[in-house]
Amino acid sequence: MINPDESYIPIDLFCENCGVEISFVHQLSEYGLCEIVILEEKSYILTDQVAELERLSRLHYEMEINIEGLHAIVHLQEKIKNLQEEVAILNRKLYRHQ
């Protein structure tokens, strides 16, 4: 479903500006690492995904990390973030009980 509050960038424009292949963005989408929105038969990405896509493209093209590796990196970073949030919650609970 299209959210009118979100901004979109054509994939071809993003790829041209960042020097990446369109197929790379489609591969990221297949692995669940970005969302592609189709509007009037044209493919777009959300503007709030641009920074992450730029980071993933640097990892892929500069460090030669394949798509599976990128997927693993993103998954592990999400786990770290969740664990950090859990630690923060437990620290707040511990502080309240002191």
What pTM was computed for the model?
Answer: 0.82
Size (the chain), residues = 98
- Is the domain spanning 8-96 CATH 1.10.10.10? The answer is no
Beta strands in the chain, from DSSP E residues, in sequence order: 8-10, 36-39, 42-46
Instruction: Give pLDDT, residue 98.
Output: 81
Residue 49 neighbours by CB distance under 10 Å? 20
Instruction: Give pLDDT, residue 89.
Output: 96
Instruction: Give pLDDT, residue 7.
Output: 92
| DSSP-assigned beta bridge partners for residue 45 | 9, 36
What is the chain's pLDDT, residue by residue, as a tens digit (98 residues)? 555 557 999 999 999 999 999 999 999 999 999 999 999 899 999 999 999 999 999 999 999 999 999 999 999 999 999 999 999 999 999 999 88
Q: In what order do the strands lie in the sheet with 8-10?
A: 8-10, 42-46, 36-39
Identity (one letter) of the amino acid at 3? N
Instruction: Give pLDDT, residue 97.
Output: 85
